[in-house]
Amino acid sequence: MAQADLGRPLAGQVAWITGGARGIGAAAGAALAEAGATVWLSDVLDCDGAVATIRAQGGEAHGRQLDIRDRDGCRRLAEDILTAHGRLDALVANAGVCPAGRVAGDWAQWSRVIDINLHGTQNTIAAVWEPMCANRRGRIVIVSSMAWYRGGVIVGTEYTASKAALIGITRHLARNGGPHGVLCNAVAPGFIDTAMTADFPQGDLEEIPLRRRGTPEDVAGPIRFLCGPDSAYMTGCVLNVTGGIVLAA
């Protein structure tokens, strides 16, 4: 391999990152662009800032304002990416919401969270699945949460349910996509400092073996790994990115 390729293992590839305007999604977009990929950031928010940051660092980025609950919009974006580049190598299904709550939350909140985190994520997967299988190549990285495994405390039941369902989807896609060259893995972050968690209680750092909350970049690295050549024999895996809170395989 040429020396230049070592630092840019995703050169020539194209990735779609949902929830890319800020937080983990923006960091994942920057990490994939740094690795050489052309990235498409989508978000219900304007992605201009995140796109400009990547371009300022020499990366290639595009943005689209899109609510992942819009199934046709998701399909159109996948089609537009394929038309523009002739390929779509990776989907990072990251967009999500996490309102605070407890066990007996209200039904409106339950529906909204499930609609975005579960149905919306499925809209994005459905948009890329057939082209990836037809091309016999694709990586899908789903952003779950440690809540799926240990249960949530600050978050509502619907958040935990949505993130557990995403692990089921990850394994389902791994089993069904493997024969077609489509790999699917998940990351399950712990306490990450983003806008999503800004209003949450800060919690006890003694609970975290690494004694700090994570940064979006701490999660972006494992996402890049799961999109890249070094994870070519991994599918159906869940990478815990929790500073050691979750020690299970």
Ligand X SMILES: NC(=O)c1ccc[n+]([C@@H]2O[C@H](COP(=O)([O-])OP(=O)(O)OC[C@H]3O[C@@H](n4cnc5c(N)ncnc54)[C@H](O)[C@@H]3O)[C@@H](O)[C@H]2O)c1
42 SS3 class: strand
| H and E: helices and strands count for the chain | 9, 7
Q: Does 139 bind ligand X (CB under 6 A)?
A: no
Q: Which position among 16, 22, 31, 185 is part of the footprint of ligand X (CB under 6 A)?
A: 22
By CB under 6 A, tell whether 150 contacts ligand X: no
Give yes or no for residue 158 binding ligand X (CB under 6 A). Answer: no
Query: What minimum distance in Å lies between the beta carbon of 15 and ligand X?
Result: 16
**Residue 116 binds ligand X, judged by CB under 6 A:** yes
Catalytically active residues are 159
| Total residues at interface with ligand X (CB under 6 A) | 29
Determine how β-strand 138-143 pairs with β-strand 90-93. Answer: parallel
- Binding residue (CB under 6 A) for ligand X from 36, 63, 101, 120: 120
Beta strands at 60-65 and 90-93: parallel, antiparallel or unpaired: unpaired
Q: Is residue 60 a contact point for ligand X (CB under 6 A)?
A: no
Does residue 43 bind ligand X (CB under 6 A)? yes
Rounded Cα gap, residues 207 and 234, in angstroms: 30
| CA-closest candidate to residue 164, choices 238, 90, 221, 108 | 238
| Between 133 and 245, CB nearer to ligand X | 245
List the alpha helices (DSSP H) in 63-156: 71-85, 107-113, 121-135, 147-150
Q: Does 235 bind ligand X (CB under 6 A)?
A: no
Among 237, 7, 63, smallest CA distance to 140 is for 237
Please identify which residue in 123, 170, 194, 231 interacts with ligand X, judged by CB under 6 A: 194
CA dihedral 38, 42, 46, 50 (to 10 degrees): -40
Nearer to ligand X, 5 or 207 (CB): 207
Is 113 one of the binding residues for ligand X (CB under 6 A)? no
Smallest distance from ligand X to CB 207, Å: 13
Binding span for ligand X by CB under 6 A among 1-9, 31-39, 66-74, 170-178: 66-74
Determine the Cα–Cα distance for residues 244 and 208; give it in Å rounded to an integer: 6
Q: Which residues pair with 184 in a beta bridge?
A: 140
Q: Binder to ligand X among 101, 189, 222, 228 (CB under 6 A)? A: 189
Q: What are phi and psi of 40, to 5 degrees?
A: -115, 115
Residue ranges that bind ligand X, judged by CB under 6 A = 18-19, 21-25, 43-45, 67-69, 94-98, 116, 120, 143, 145, 189, 191-192, 194-197
